[in-house]
Structure 1
Amino acid sequence: MLKIDHLHAFYGKSQVLHGVSLQLVGGEIVALLGRNGSGRSTTAKTIMGLVDARGSVLWRGQQLLGKKTYEIAQMGLGYVPESRDIFPTLTVEHNLMLGQKPGQKTGRWSMGDMYAMFPQLKARQHAPAGVLSGGEQQMLTLCRSLMGDPDLIIVDEPTEGLAPQVVMLLGQVLRQLRARGIAVLLIEQKLTIALDVSDRCYVMGHGSAVFEGTPEALRQADAIRREWLEV
């Protein structure tokens, strides 16, 4: 479904990614792990056309590099950025409506599905999104992306700053996405949640992938965890 080969990315003259290669298939959760500054978020932004890059990013055989972000989204990719980027003066419901693609009539997800997954949003559907808590804003951003009916969703640091019970809820939702055949690229620092929900994982360091394997293999890879993950 998604295949990245020898991806190099740049902010101006500064090179951030150095030959990253990874792949995902439908209905798979892949965790992208690493310390801050390792290149995880840049990988996500590059997939979505937000960073200058060279190499190859194939989505169902089509090259994404060189395409506009809105074109990539229309091809079936969703993106939940770490910054959340809600529209604070619009209501929760209006934020969700903005997630739908132009002309979209049906999809795997309805407004009712969103409210069933996150009852807190249902209770505040007419409130301005700017008054939501951090956890509620994270829920809203995820749901807004799902309203566009993506086949792959990239979720950047969804658990940062959230209460443990909200983290558990997000884990349940990610499993629901997998059950519906949606691929998830999960960028995360918390090993517990990442290893619990993912099918495979990559570890990044200094802009390159330094490990690929199953969660169990990473649990056994003490040297990798010490060098690239543990503080």
Structure 2
Amino acid sequence: MQLLGLKYNKMMSPVAFRKFPEFIMTDPLLKITDLNTFYGKTQILKAIDLQVHPAELVVIAGPNGAGKTTLLKSILGLSEVTRTGTILLNRRKITKKKTHKITAMGVGYVPQGRLLFPSMSVDEHLHFAGYKFRKKSQWPPAAIYGLFPELQERMNVPGTRLSGGEQRMMAIGQALVSNPALLLLDEPSEGLSMRIIQRLEEVCRFLKSQGMAILLVEQNLELAQALADRAYFFSNGKIEQEIGGDAFRNDQATVCKYSETCIN
């Protein structure tokens, strides 16, 4: 099977989306209402309302400092932020839950940059990240190698010796082994070659085709516009505008109004 140049390996999981027996596919998987986020006493996010549905890729766009990364950290409940408001995952409130509980409930996170253990191989990174989920994950390391054959070829190589593109693949793999229904991606194309960015686009399309919801923070407008079903424009910690995927691709005046770079 071939999907946009991505070869489907029989080792890959046939269904990436975590099953919720009571879940209605028309409901939002993620629903955020009146979210306010603080670093100490400094408010970063103000009255955020947004939704992400299964099999939907939603882009968070805006200039540096707009609060995009803080949004992802708020969803995941990372310790450096405090939150008010409501965050629902599959209609279950996660606003007060710890990060490891939120991950176990079906949220995967690929942070900006590279977080690696110098002494650990690719295979060790994947098994370590997926240890708690090994009995129920639809994305064991074997499936990750099906998605990223490049990693299988280098499975015994220390993560720090991988190329930038390979390290990003491994980071996505580490998020997938936790069996997420919702994948949070923070600037995944940063510093990557055009070839690897195209691979990233293929992988996102494949995951979405399997029912996975994706929330993408991305400054590469060409990639973001290619993938978006919807987009939210952030500015100064607030949502200034929500826009559909077709409008996001075609309304350059609106896109440029809220972005630091534009496609000419």
Check whether TM > 0.5: yes
Distance 1:29 1:143, change over 3 A: same
Residue in structure 2 matching 1:61, options 86, 91, 107? 91
SS at match of 1:37: coil
Residue 194 (structure 2) pairs with residue 171 (structure 1): no
Percent identity between matched residues is 37
Partner of 2:6: none
Q: 2 CA distance for matches of 1:127 and 1:101?
A: 20
Using the alignment, how far apart are the partners of 1:123 and 1:146 within structure 2? Answer: 19
In structure 2, the partner of 1:145 is 175
Aligned ranges for residues 45-84 of structure 1 at < 5 Å? 45-50=73-78, 51-84=81-114
State the 1:217 CA deviation: 1.3
CA contact (8 A) 2:226 2:249 kept: no
Q: Structure 2 stretches of 5 or more lacking a match?
A: 1-28
Query: For 1:44 and 1:75, how far apart are their aligned partners in 2?
Result: 16
| Root mean square deviation of aligned Cα | 1.4
Give CA deviations for 1:127-150 in whole Å, capped at 9, x if unaligned: 111111211111101001101111
Structure 1 CA distance, aligned partners of 2:257 and 2:169?
33
Normalization by structure 2: what TM-score? Answer: 0.83
Structure 2 residue 110 is the aligned partner of structure 1 residue 117: no
In 1: Cα distance, 2:174 partner to 2:248 partner: 32
State the shift of 1:78 in Å: 0.5
Structure 1 residues 72, 120: closer, same or farther in 2, change over 3 A?
same
Alpha-carbon distance in structure 1 between the residues aligned to 2:164 and 2:251: 34
Please say if residues 110 and 185 of structure 2, whose CA atoms lie closer than 8 Å, have aligned partners that are also in contact. yes
Aligned residues: 231
Q: 1:111 to 1:206 in 2, by over 3 A?
A: same
Find out whether 1:102 has 2:132 as its counterpart: yes
Quick check: 2:134–2:140 contact (8 Å CA) kept in 1?
A: no
Give the CA deviation at 1:180. Answer: 1.0
- Asked whether the 8 Å contact 2:133–2:179 carries over to 1, the reply is no
> Which residue matches 1:134?
164
Q: Which of 31, 41, 50 pairs up with 2:59?
A: 31
Please tell me whether the aligned partners of residues 112 and 188 of structure 2 are also in contact (alpha carbons under 8 angstroms). yes
Aligned to 1:102, the other structure's residue is in SS state helix
CA distance in 1, matches of 2:258, 2:206: 30
The aligned amino acid for 1:11 is Y
The correspondence for 1:213, drawn from 238, 243, 246, is: 243
Deviation at 1:2, TM superposition (A): 0.5
Secondary structure of the residue that 1:75 maps to in structure 2? helix
Alpha-carbon distance between aligned partners in 2 of 1:223 and 1:123, rounded to the nearest angstrom: 44
Divergent runs of 4+, >6 A: none
Distance 1:38 1:103 in 2: 34
